[in-house]
Amino acid sequence: MRKDTTAESALHLMLLLACGPKNIELPATKLAEFHALSAGGVAKLMQKLTAAGLVIASAGRNGGYKLARPPSQISTLDIVAALDGIVPEFHCREIRRDGVCANVSGHFTSRCTVAAVMDTATQAWRETLRQVSLEDLVKKSAQAVDPKHQAATASWIATNTR
């Protein structure tokens, strides 16, 4: 599983657990099967989600994963943060101090404007994720997904839950 798809995969896996009847439990292999993801990659994601207290894992041959809290109490930020913590993608290296400006006397007394803009964008991203719960995703999906796909998902869940 590629790193750039990790958040997408985790959000969809959590959405799948939230879409079924309350307290459904699915093994990692079945979660992987539903979205055609690698079983090993899904197992690693589920370990991180378990460590973050978002899902509960049951061990053994009949083991699986279920939500640890109601979907209304899990934000999309919780899910994304569980993966690798909340680290901004942008890291300012202060290149404005290099090259031609490296030999100019004086100091840079203000914060890098590029870093400031990127930090503002990161904060907006976090706040948006904080405001959207897993329950919100379930509701939005119910409105956006074709009824045939909803029926196929419900049938698959009924067949594969423990």
pLDDT band for position 1 (cuts 50, 70, 90): very low
Mean pLDDT of 23-39: 94
- Between 147 and 102, residue with greater pLDDT: 147
Task: Give the Å distances, CA to CA, from 62 to 26, 120, 122, 131, 146.
Answer: 9, 46, 41, 35, 32
pLDDT of 81 > 70? The answer is yes
pLDDT band for position 88 (cuts 50, 70, 90): low
pLDDT band for position 161 (cuts 50, 70, 90): confident
Long-range contacts at 42-49 (CB < 8 A, ≥ 24 apart)? 42/1, 42/9, 42/13, 44/1, 45/1, 45/6, 45/9, 45/10, 45/13, 45/83, 46/13, 48/10, 48/82, 48/83, 49/10, 49/13, 49/14, 49/79, 49/82
CB 55 within 8 A of CB 68: yes
What does the alpha-carbon distance between residue 67 and residue 161 come to, in Å, rounded to a whole number? 13
Interval 59-75: pLDDT, tens: 887 789 999 999 999 99
Q: What is the pTM of this model?
A: 0.84
- pLDDT for 17 equals 96
Domains of the chain in sequence order:
3-86+133-160 (1.10.10.10)
Residues linked to residue 75 through DSSP beta bridges, in sequence order: 133
